[in-house]
Amino acid sequence: MSRNDDFNLIDLTENLEKSTEELIREVKTESRAGKSEINTDMYQGSRSRQLNTDMYQGSQSRQLNTDMYGGSRELNTDMYENRERHSERYDNVEQELHREGSSRNQGEIQRVNKNEGLPQRKRQPVTNKKQQQEDRETGRQKYQQEERRKNPRKSTGDDEMSDRGKGKRRSSKAGRKLKRRIIKILLVIAILFGLVYGAVYAMVGKVEYETMETDYVRPDDVETVSGVKNILLIGTDARSSDEDGRSDSMIVLSINTKKNRIVMTSILRDSYVEIPGHGSNRINAAYSYGQEDLLIQTIEQNFKIPIDSYVKVDFFSFIDIVDAVGGVEIDVSEEEKEWVNAYLNETNELLGAEFGDGYLTSAGTQTLTGKQALSYARIRYIGTDFQRTERQREIITAVLNKAKTMGPTAITKLMNSVLPNVKTNMKHSELTLLAMKSILYMGYDMQQIHLPADGTWENATISGMSVLQLDFEANIAAFKEAVYGDGVKESEE
C-alpha cells in the first residue's frame, strides 16, 4: 500500500471519526430531549400515559435500537478493518469510540429499553365501583382547584355544570318550600270549609224534612238540562202549622250555573190544566188534591218543567223572612195602601196584635215590615192575577237584594229565623251545599217571567169557573228560552 493510500485512509478515518462523534452527539441530544419530553409529559398526566403505552408497545424503542445497533456495527467493522492497517492510531480511535460513543449510546439504549429513570406505572388495587367513582370525583375536584389556582379568571365547563347543579338544588329547595306552603294553605281552607259546613249543617237541621212517597215516574218528554236546578217555591195560605191550606203562590226558582242566571217563573193559580187522576181544573186545586207530590206532577206534565225539589213556606215564615232582612222598600199606590190596611186586620188577629197595628198612613215608596209585605202580596182585587204574582215576585226580589248586602252575622240571624218554619224534600246535606253556594248565586243575573206568557192565553169560563185557557206549546217555549236560552228580553220583564 502506497503512502498516498495511507494518507487517504487516515483522512477517511478522521472523517469517519468526526461523523461518528456528530452521530454520538445527536444521539445524546435526541436521547436527552426525548427523556426530558417523556418525563415532562409523564408528570403532566394524560400524554405520559400515552407515551408509556407507546414505549411498552416498543415501536419507537425498537426503531431506535435498530438504528443505533446498525450504526454501531457498521462503525465497528470499518474501525476494525482500519485498525489492521493503522493499528496504533486506529486503536486510539476505537477506544475513544467505545468510551464516548458505544458505551454511552448502549447505556442510553439499555436505560430506554429497561425504562430506567422513568416513573413506572403502579398497579392499581382492585376496588369496587363506588370507590372508583369517589376517587375519580376527588381527582377531578383537585384538578379543578389547581386550574382555578393557576387561572383564577378562567371558568371551566365543570364549574358551569356545578353552578347549574347548585341552581337546580336551589330551585328544588324553593319548590319544596312552595309545595309545603300550598299544602298548609289547602289544609287551612279544608279546616275552614269543614267549620263553615258544620255550622250551616247545624242551622239547616232546623228545617223540617219531608219525604215524597209516590210511584210517579217522570215522562220522557220532560227533559233535564245539565247545570240547571229548578226549585218549586210554594206559598200556602195556612194560618197554623197544623193546617195544610191551599197553594196561594207557585214560583219556580231556576238556577242556571252555566248562564249565571236566576229566573223566577210565577205560575198563575187560575191556569186551566190537566191534573193527573182528577181531570181538568185550576192548577192550585192540585195542591188541595195531593199536596206537593201532585202539584209537581201537574207542573211537569203540563209545562214540561223538571222540578228537582220544593220549598214550602206559610204566612208566618213569610213575615219572618222580611223582618229578618230589615223590611223591603216598595212603592205603594194609594189604592194598594187601602187594601194593605184591610188585609192587616186579619194578619193582626192571627198574630195577636192590636187592631190597626201597622197601618200605612201614606202612599209612595216606603219600607214595609213583614206583615205589611204579606198584606201587599195577598192583594187580589186590584188588576188581575198577573199583577198579584208580580207583586209577589217584587217582594222576593227585594228580599234577595237586601240579603246581598248583609254580613255573615245578619245572614245567620236570617237563617235561624226562617228555617224552622220551612219544609222541604231536600236532604240536609243537599240544603247545606245550596246554602253555601248562595253566596255565589247572589252575583247572578236575576230575571222573572210568568206563565201563561203574554199573548199565549185567553179568558174562559168552564164549569162555572173563570179560568185562563193556555197555549201550552207557546208557554213551554217561553220557559225554555228564559231559563235555558238567551234569557228574558227587557220588554218581557
Q: CA 414 → CA 177, 231, 324, 418, distances in Å?
A: 43, 20, 5, 6
Greater confidence, 145 or 386? 386
Chain-centre distance for alpha carbon 472? 47
Please list the alpha-helical segments (H only) found in 368-427.
370-378, 385-404, 408-418
Mean pLDDT across the stretch 339-346?
Answer: 92
Length of the chain: 493
The one-letter code for the residue type at 49 is R
The one-letter code for the residue type at 174 is A
Greater confidence, 453 or 150? 453
Asked whether residue 144 carries a pLDDT value surpassing 90, the answer given is no
Highest mean pLDDT among 52-56, 167-171, 235-239: 235-239
Least trusted range by pLDDT, from 93-107, 166-180, 314-328, 356-370: 93-107
Residue 248, φ and ψ in degrees, nearest 5: -80, -30
Query: Which residue from 362, 363, 358, 361 is spatially nearest to 348, judged by alpha carbons?
Result: 358
Asked whether residue 420 carries a pLDDT value surpassing 90, the answer given is no
Mean pLDDT across the stretch 352-378?
Answer: 93
User: In this prediction, what percent of the chain has a pLDDT beyond 90?
Assistant: 30
Q: What pLDDT is stored for residue 324 in this prediction?
A: 85
Residue 461, φ and ψ in degrees, nearest 5: -120, 115
| Average pLDDT of the residues of the chain | 76
Q: What pLDDT is stored for residue 439 in this prediction?
A: 78
Least trusted range by pLDDT, from 51-60, 348-357, 419-428: 51-60
Complete DSSP assignment for 311-336? EEE-HHHHHHHHHHTT-EEEEE-HHH
Chain-centre distance for alpha carbon 15? 96
Q: What pLDDT is stored for residue 104 in this prediction?
A: 52
Please list the alpha-helical segments (H only) found in 98-234.
103-113, 129-150, 157-204
Distance CA 186, CA 178 (A): 12
Asked whether residue 258 carries a pLDDT value surpassing 50, the answer given is yes
Distance CA 468, CA 293 (A): 23
Mean pLDDT across the stretch 385-414?
Answer: 84
Distance CA 364, CA 324 (A): 23
Query: Which residue from 129, 309, 67, 298 is spatially nearest to 207, judged by alpha carbons?
Result: 309
Asked whether residue 236 carries a pLDDT value surpassing 50, the answer given is yes
Q: Specify whether the CB–CB gap between 307 and 225 falls below 8 A.
A: no
Residue 164, φ and ψ in degrees, nearest 5: -65, -40
User: What Rg value do the Cα atoms of the chain yield, rounded?
Assistant: 56
Greater confidence, 126 or 415? 415
Mean pLDDT across the stretch 327-346?
Answer: 93
Q: What pLDDT is stored for residue 95 in this prediction?
A: 59
Q: Where are any strands of DSSP class E within 197-339?
A: 208-209, 228-236, 247-256, 261-267, 272-275, 279-282, 309-313, 328-332
* pLDDT tens for each residue of 268-294: 989 999 999 999 999 989 998 988 999
Burial 259-270 (b: 16+ CB within 10 A, else e): bebbbbbbbbbb
Instruction: Count the Cβ atoms, other than its own, within 10 Å of residue 12.
Output: 12
Instruction: Assign 131 to helix, strand or coil.
Output: helix
Mean pLDDT across the stretch 234-251?
Answer: 74
Q: What pLDDT is stored for residue 112 in this prediction?
A: 46
Plot region of 455 (φ>0 → left; ψ -120 to 50 → alpha; else → beta): left
* pLDDT tens for each residue of 425-477: 998 888 888 888 887 888 899 999 999 999 999 999 999 999 999 999 999 99
The one-letter code for the residue type at 280 is S
Q: What pLDDT is stored for residue 141 in this prediction?
A: 77
Distance CA 24, CA 46 (A): 32
Residues 6+ apart with CB under 8 A from 470: 271, 272, 273, 451, 452, 456, 457
* pLDDT tens for each residue of 198-222: 777 777 777 888 887 778 889 889 9
Lookup result for grid cell 201537574: 298
Domain range 228-483, its CATH number among 1.10.533.10, 3.40.630.190, 3.20.20.80, 2.40.50.140: 3.40.630.190
Greater confidence, 408 or 318? 318
* pTM of the predicted structure, to 2 decimals: 0.60
The secondary structure of the chain in percent helix, strand, coil, rounded to multiples of 5, reads 60, 15, 25
Strands 309-313 and 228-236: parallel
Instruction: Assign 142 to helix, strand or coil.
Output: helix
Q: What pLDDT is stored for residue 51 in this prediction?
A: 43
Q: What pLDDT is stored for residue 177 in this prediction?
A: 79
Q: What pLDDT is stored for residue 60 in this prediction?
A: 46
Distance CA 317, CA 315 (A): 6
Mean pLDDT across the stretch 414-423?
Answer: 80
Q: What pLDDT is stored for residue 328 in this prediction?
A: 93
Asked whether residue 415 carries a pLDDT value surpassing 70, the answer given is yes
Least trusted range by pLDDT, from 32-46, 152-166, 448-462: 32-46
Distance CA 266, CA 354 (A): 34
Apex 209 CA angle, 207 and 212, nearest 5: 150
pLDDT bucket at 490, cuts 50 / 70 / 90: low
Asked whether residue 84 carries a pLDDT value surpassing 60, the answer given is no
Angle between helices 385-404 and 370-378 (to 10 degrees): 150
Q: What pLDDT is stored for residue 268 in this prediction?
A: 92
